[in-house]
Chain A
Amino acid sequence: MNEETNIYEEEKLRLQNIANITNLDAGFLEYLQYPKRILAVSVPVIMDSGELRIFDGFRVQYNINRGPAKGGIRFHSSVSLDKLKALAMVMTWKCAVTNIPFGGAKGGVICDPKSLSRKELEKLTRRYTFELIPIIGPEKDIPAPDIGTNPEVMAWIMDTYSMDQGYSVPGVVTGKPVVLGGTLGREGATARGCIYITISLLETLNLIKGEMDFAVQGFGNVGFNAARYVSESGFRLVALSDSKGGIYNPKGLNVLKVKEHKDKTGSVINFKDANTITNDELFEVKCDVFIPAAIESQITARRALKMKCKVISEAANIPTTIGADNILRDRGLVVIPDILTNAGGVVVSYFEWVQDAQAYFWTEDDVNQRLRKIMKRSFEDVYMKSKEMKCNLRTAAYAIAVTRVIEATKTRGIFP
Chain B
Amino acid sequence: MIEKSVWEMTLKNLDKACDFLGLDDGIRSYLREPRRVLEVSIPVIMDNGSVKIFKGYRVQHNTNRGPAKGGIRFSPEVNMDEIKALAMIMTWKCAVVDIPYGGAKGGVACDPQKLSVGELERLTRRYVFEILPLIGPEKDIPAPDVGTNQQIMAWIMDTYSMAQGYSVPGIVTGKPISIGGSLGREGATALGCIYTLHDAVKVLGLNEERFEIVIQGFGNVGWNAARFLYDSGMNIVALSDINGGIYNQNGINPYEVFDFCKESGTVYGFPGTESISNKELFGIDCDILIPAAIENQITEKNAKDIKAKIVAEAANAPTTPEADQILNDRGIFIIPDLLCNAGGVTVSYFEWVQNVQAIFWNEDEVNQKLRAIMDKAFRKVYEFSKQNNLDMRLAANINAVSKVALATEMRGIYP
Footprint of B on A, CB under 8 Å? 25-28, 30-31, 33-42, 44-46, 51-54, 56, 123, 126-127, 130-131, 134-135, 160, 414-416
| Residue of A33, A41, A131 with most partner-chain B CB within 10 A | A41
Q: Name the 6 nearest CB pairs between A and B, nearest first.
A: A52-B26, A27-B51, A134-B133, A40-B37, A38-B39, A42-B33
CB distance from B99 to the nearest CB of A (A): 23
How far is A134 from B136 in the complex, measured between Cα atoms in Å?
11
B17-40 interface (Cβ within 8 A of A): 24-27, 29-30, 33-40
Q: Which residues of B contact A33 (CB under 8 A)?
A: 53
How far is A7 from B55 in the complex, measured between Cα atoms in Å?
21
- Cβ-defined contact, A51 with B26, below 8 A: yes
How far is A56 from B32 in the complex, measured between Cα atoms in Å?
12
Q: Which residues of B contact A54 (CB under 8 A)?
A: 26, 29-30, 33
Given A38-B37, A416-B125: 6 more A-B contacts, CB < 8 Å: A37-B39, A37-B41, A44-B413, A53-B29, A130-B414, A416-B159
Q: Which residues of B contact A42 (CB under 8 A)?
A: 30, 33-36
Tell me if B52 is interfacial: C-beta within 8 Å of chain A. yes
How far is A45 from B122 in the complex, measured between Cα atoms in Å?
40
Tell me the nearest residue of chain B to A41, going by C-beta: B36
How far is A54 from B53 in the complex, measured between Cα atoms in Å?
33
Tell me if B90 is interfacial: C-beta within 8 Å of chain A. no
Which one of A26, A30, A38, A52 lies within 8 Å of B27 (CB-CB)? A52
Q: Which residues of A contact B24 (CB under 8 A)?
A: 51-52
- Cβ-defined contact, B122 with A416, below 8 A: yes
How far is A415 from B121 in the complex, measured between Cα atoms in Å?
12
CB distance from A220 to the nearest CB of B (A): 29
- Cβ-defined contact, B30 with A52, below 8 A: yes
B38-65 interface (Cβ within 8 A of A): 38-41, 43-45, 50-53, 55
CB distance from A309 to the nearest CB of B (A): 39
Which one of B29, B36, B43 lies within 8 Å of A40 (CB-CB)? B36
Q: Which residues of A contact B55 (CB under 8 A)?
A: 34
- Cβ-defined contact, B35 with A416, below 8 A: no
Q: Which residues of A contact B159 (CB under 8 A)?
A: 416
Interface size class of B (residues with CB under 8 A): 35 or more
Given A36-B130, A37-B130, A54-B30: A31 and B53 interface contact (C-beta under 8 Å): yes
- Cβ-defined contact, A41 with B40, below 8 A: no
Tell me if B272 is interfacial: C-beta within 8 Å of chain A. no
- Cβ-defined contact, A34 with B36, below 8 A: no
Q: Which residues of B contact A26 (CB under 8 A)?
A: 50
Q: Which residues of B contact A30 (CB under 8 A)?
A: 51-53
Given A52-B30, A135-B133: A39 and B44 interface contact (C-beta under 8 Å): no
CB distance from B184 to the nearest CB of A (A): 32
| Residue of B26, B33, B52, B415 with most partner-chain A CB within 10 A | B415
- Cβ-defined contact, B41 with A36, below 8 A: yes
Q: Which residues of B contact A134 (CB under 8 A)?
A: 133-134, 139
- Cβ-defined contact, B414 with A127, below 8 A: yes
Q: Which residues of A contact B53 (CB under 8 A)?
A: 27, 30-31, 33-34
Tell me if B129 is interfacial: C-beta within 8 Å of chain A. yes
- Cβ-defined contact, B51 with A28, below 8 A: yes
How far is A35 from B50 in the complex, measured between Cα atoms in Å?
19
- Cβ-defined contact, A44 with B30, below 8 A: yes
- Cβ-defined contact, A414 with B36, below 8 A: no
CB distance from B25 to the nearest CB of A (A): 8
- Cβ-defined contact, A126 with B415, below 8 A: yes
Tell me the nearest residue of chain B to A62, going by C-beta: B41
CB distance from B38 to the nearest CB of A (A): 5
Which one of A27, A131, A415 lies within 8 Å of B36 (CB-CB)? A131
Pull 23 A–B residue pairs with CB atoms less than 8 Å apart, ordered by A: A27-B51, A30-B51, A31-B41, A31-B43, A31-B53, A38-B39, A40-B34, A41-B35, A41-B36, A41-B37, A44-B30, A52-B24, A52-B26, A52-B27, A52-B413, A54-B30, A127-B415, A131-B35, A131-B36, A414-B51, A415-B125, A416-B122, A416-B129
Tell me if B126 is interfacial: C-beta within 8 Å of chain A. yes
Which one of A35, A39, A123, A126 lies within 8 Å of B37 (CB-CB)? A39
